[in-house]
Amino acid sequence: MSTTDLFDDLPATVSRETLAPGAMRLHAFAREGDATLLQAIEEVIAQAPFRHLVTPGGYTMSVGMSNCGELGWVSDCSGYRYDALDPLSGQPWPAMPACFADLARRAAAQAGFEGFRPDACLINRYEPGARLSLHQDRDEKDLSAPIVSVSLGLPAVFLFGTGRRSDKPQRYRLAHGNVVVWGGPARLAYHGVAPLADGEHPLLGRHRINLTFRQAG
């Protein structure tokens, strides 16, 4: 199937926007079926509650985090890494819900990355004022696979730059249901989230949830 054919299959409510070579935003891609996604998130969090990780430098992250899938991304004073076990419980992370994996595969394919098989999903919860500083996703073993990022709840300002930290990032407003996919020449682009503005979302109240899918192992 060609990339053109994939784009032709997009629902009428979904539009696409190229952010950079290898990076694309799919507007409203995750809006249909959002109730199923939110229910699945609740089930994961019941097993692996949100926690505020500590960076190797001793800074406590403002974003609440959890994981599901074969691997989970963790951080502590010893560094950043993926681990098969939740450090809080000592148990494997919850299995990745089928609706998560399906959404991630379809979004990746729409952006031109067929064959994406995520084995890790980082779940971030933002409250007003929470932010994520500019960083690269480079802890994965295979950097040929893309990153798929799903936004739910309050809108956020997404910062997306280049492979050089010194370059000023572009700013994009991510609304509920937006999905951003980046890989190829954009795979190591610096990105982050500006401090979340206060507000009230009909489904998530004063929160934003971000699902970040990776092929980590």
The mean pLDDT of 122-148, rounded to a whole number, is 97
Which domain does 96 fall in, by range?
Answer: 3-214
Type of residue found at 208: R
pTM above 0.75, yes or no: yes
Are the CB atoms for 57 and 119 separated by under 8 Å? no
What are the tokens at 3? Answer: 């990339």
Compute CA distances 209 → 141, 144, 156, 201, 206, whole Å. 26, 26, 10, 11, 10
Give Dmax over CA atoms of the chain in angstroms: 48
Cα distance between residue 133 and residue 156, in whole Å: 13
Type of residue found at 186: A
Give one word for 16, left, alpha or beta, with left for phi > 0 and alpha for psi -120 to 50.
Answer: beta
pLDDT the model gives residue 144: 96
User: What domain count does the chain have?
Assistant: 1
Are the CB atoms for 40 and 106 separated by under 8 Å? no
pLDDT the model gives residue 13: 64
Length of the chain: 217
The mean pLDDT of 25-32, rounded to a whole number, is 97
CATH number of the structural domain spanning residue 145: 2.60.120.590
pLDDT the model gives residue 14: 75
Are the CB atoms for 170 and 25 separated by under 8 Å? no
Confidence class of residue 11 from pLDDT cuts 50, 70 and 90?
low
Is the pLDDT reported for residue 216 higher than 90?
yes
Ranges of H-type helices in 48-191:
98-110
Is the pLDDT reported for residue 2 higher than 70?
no
What are the tokens at 109? Answer: 């394919």
Q: What is the 3-state secondary structure (H, E, C) of 175-209?
A: CCCCEEEECHHHCCCCEEECCCCCCCECCCECCEE
pLDDT the model gives residue 10: 64
Sign of the four-CA dihedral 187, 192, 197, 198: positive
